[in-house]
Amino acid sequence: MTFRFGVRLKLFLVSIALIAISVVAADAYLTRSTAQQVTETVRDDLYVRAALVAREALATGAARDDLATWDALADSLGHAAAARVTLIARDGTVLGDSEVPVGDLPRVENHASRVEVAGALAGEPTDSARLSATVQQHMMYVAVPVAGTGAVAVARVATPLGVVDKAVAQSRRAILVASLLALSLAVLLSSVAAQRMSRVFRELTDAARRMTEGDLAVRTHVRGTDEVGELAFALDQLAGSLSATLAELKGERDLQGRILEGMQEGVLVVDKEGRVVLVNGALRSMLLLGPDARGRLLLEAIRHAELEELLGRATAVGGTTQGELDLPGLKPRRLLVHATSLAGEAGGLLAVFVDVTDLRRLESLRRDFVANVSHELRTPVTALLSATETLRNGALQTPAAGRFLDIVDRNAHRLQNLIEDLLELSRLDAHQYKLKKEPVDVIGLFSIVLGLFRERADAKGVRLATRIAPSLPKLESDPRALEQVLVNLVDNAVKYCPSGATVTVAVDLEDDGGLRFAVEDTGAGIEAKHLPRIFERFYRVDKGRSRDVGGTGLGLSIVKHLSEAMDGELTVDSTVGKGSTFALRLKGRAAHSDPPPASGETATVAS
């Protein structure tokens, strides 16, 4: 187990180490300073005492060999000076010593070589500190010259340096006691400071950890002007800056996500390893991809050989490549793909998929439309040219001229009808047809529509009838559009019904308040395979018969467009051999009015 040094313990140990170093340095300095000061004090005091001793020795007129007198003087002066006193002759002989009995003086070695004695013999007061060979103590010696020609030439005073050691010991004890008190106080203060600093650092560490975990709302709440306060302020500023930056990035990401999901075009991003990085909702819908497509290899997520080849070509050329793909299935589609190689270290590929199914279908319809219009125009134009050429070549003066003029007139009307129908479809496609809603008199409308075809129906032996529900309200719609729908439907019914058939124009009130207009006939009917395409332009069930009766192939297409413009629902129901019913439902368009004059559930008017 590894022992962990926390900030608190580190600060405490550093404080203790600094205090210990300070105590040791103070002890060394104060010990040396105290010893030096005490030694200087003792030396100065000994100089004073030595001068007094020298004066007393000078006043004593004893002979040189009177050792008893000199030793007694040394003893008396040593007691008075509280120090060891030594009286020395000019040759270095000791005449008296307060620490040496008089009987032992002859055995005391010559002191001329002593440092302090030699200095004093030379006329200079001299001091020296050393171990005494006589008393075996560490002594401080001060020797001064004695003026005059007496027996004593040098007076020396000495005292043990134990007083210095005692003073140093006392100083060390004082330093130790002060150091212990200071250490105790320092331990307490350093512990408190370390505790506070540790708490502050724990707060900073906890705030930094929460920031790394994504909580950018955290703040340190540490105040101060020192480095720790500046660090806390910097962390708070960092959290605020990161929070603002992340909020901005999140907003941009969400905006990009909404844009990608709102696009009708599919977007695919693949990294350089061929894994799917991004797929938007439109592409998921186009390619029927599941939610697990992201992160998978492209070949696993989308199995399409043509797409793989196109993306591989874009990667190989390092630029932009485009192509079209056919997607089979219940709803076949055609996609235009723009694939671009992404530059930079990350690399990868961006592909945009555009559904051009409707565009290609419209292009196909346009081509078919042009071909059909050309074909429809060719027949009457050819007939007109042939008839006029025949008339020019002399037929104008023959009995057959009337027949050729009938051909010209019939085909000219056919061209006129075709052009009018084309112009009508053009206006409907361009949304230039503006509905004008107003109350519609259904009975009057039916009368107008049937009046247009009564003569032709009578000529063919086709019976026209109406069926109007009782208490029928007036209708809020565009009378002109509704009339054109009914006219086209009745026109088709009269054209294709055989003699003896009945064409009925009916209106019924539905449960939701809307009206159902229907044109019913008892003609030959339409096969089921033709019903899905019957409203296409120029589509004919029986092309030869349609041209014989003068149809343009655009009537039902116009009916479909007008029905959609009126927000109606157009349906067809037909059975071969029984007839057909074309119905237009206009929902919620009724406005109440007086009932029609007929009584009973239905009113039928025959022509």
Tell me the pLDDT tens digit for each residue of 497-529. 999 999 999 998 887 778 889 999 998 888 888
Q: Mean pLDDT throughout 410-434?
A: 65
Q: How confident is the model at residue 582 (pLDDT cuts 50, 70, 90)?
A: very high
Q: Supply the CATH classification number for the domain 263-350.
A: 3.30.450.20
Q: Answer yes or no: are the C-beta atoms of 211 and 239 closer than 8 Å.
A: yes
Look at residue 264 in the predicted model and tell me its pLDDT.
83
- The CATH class of 438-606 is alpha beta
Residues 6+ apart with CB under 8 A from 275: 295, 296, 297, 298
DSSP state at residue 238: H
Adjacent-strand bridge partners of 205: none
pLDDT bracket for residue 217 (50, 70, 90): confident
Distance between CA atoms of 370 and 364, rounded to whole angstroms?
A: 10
Q: Is 416 a residue whose pLDDT tops 80? A: no
Just give the CATH number of 360-421. Answer: 1.10.287.130
Q: What percent of the chain has pLDDT over 70?
A: 83
Position 276 scores a pLDDT of: 87
With residues binned 3-state (H G I as helix, E B as strand, rest as coil), the percentages for the chain, rounded to 5, are 55, 20, 30
pLDDT of residue 599: 33
Least confident of 39-53, 211-225, 238-252: 211-225
Which range of 212-216, 552-556, 568-572 scores highest in mean pLDDT? It is 568-572
pLDDT at res. 273: 82
CA distances from 75 to 102, 248, 259 (A): 10, 104, 119
Q: How many helices (H) and strands (E) does the chain have?
A: 14, 19
Among 158-167, 222-231, 350-359, the minimum mean pLDDT is found in: 222-231
Question: Does the structure show a pLDDT above 80 at 386?
Answer: no
The pLDDT of residue 6 is 61
| pLDDT value for 595 | 47
* pLDDT higher than 80, residue 190: no
Residue 161, pLDDT score? 79
Strand partners, 504: 465, 520
Q: How far apart are CA 261 and CA 281, in angstroms?
A: 5
Reported as half-sphere exposure (CB side, CA atoms, 13 A), residue 381 has a value of: 8
141: enclosing H helix or E strand: strand 138-145
Least Cα distance to 437 among 592, 585, 569, 590 occurs for 590
Strands 84-88, 579-586: pairing is unpaired
pTM of the shown model:
0.43
* 177-191, 321-335, 390-404 — most confident range: 321-335
What does the mean pLDDT of the chain come to?
A: 79
Q: Give the confidence band of 311 by pLDDT, cuts at 50, 70, 90.
A: confident
**Right CATH for 7-167 from 3.30.450.40, 3.30.56.10, 3.40.50.720, 3.30.450.20:** 3.30.450.20
pLDDT (average), residues 459-466? 92
Rounded to 5°, the CA angle 31-32-38 comes to 85
**pLDDT, tens digit (0-9, with 9 covering 90-100), for 37-78:** 888 888 888 899 999 998 988 888 788 888 889 999 989 999
Amino acid at 242: L
Tell me the CB-side half-sphere exposure of residue 311, using CA atoms within 13 A.
25
Q: What is the pLDDT of residue 600?
A: 33
Q: Averaged over 245-259, what is the pLDDT? A: 83
**What's the token pair of residue 7?**
């900030």
Instruction: Tell me the pLDDT band of 282, cut-offs 50, 70 and 90.
Output: confident
Q: Is 191 helix (H, G, I), strand (E, B) or coil?
A: helix
Look at the block and give the residue holding tokens 């395979």. 529
What is the pairing mode between strands 515-521 and 579-586?
antiparallel
From first CA to last CA, the distance across the chain in angstroms is 112
**pLDDT score of 606 more than 50:** no
Long-range contacts of 145-150 (CB under 8 A, 24+ apart): 145/54, 145/120, 145/121, 146/54, 146/57, 146/58, 147/54, 147/58, 148/58, 150/57, 150/58, 150/60, 150/61
Tokens of 10: 């580190």
| 556 close to 519: Cβ distance less than 8 angstroms | no
pLDDT at 422: 65
- For the cut 60, the answer to whether the pLDDT of residue 551 exceeds it is no
Q: What pLDDT is stored for residue 425 in this prediction?
A: 59
Dihedral through CA 509, CA 511, CA 512, CA 518, nearest 10?
A: -40
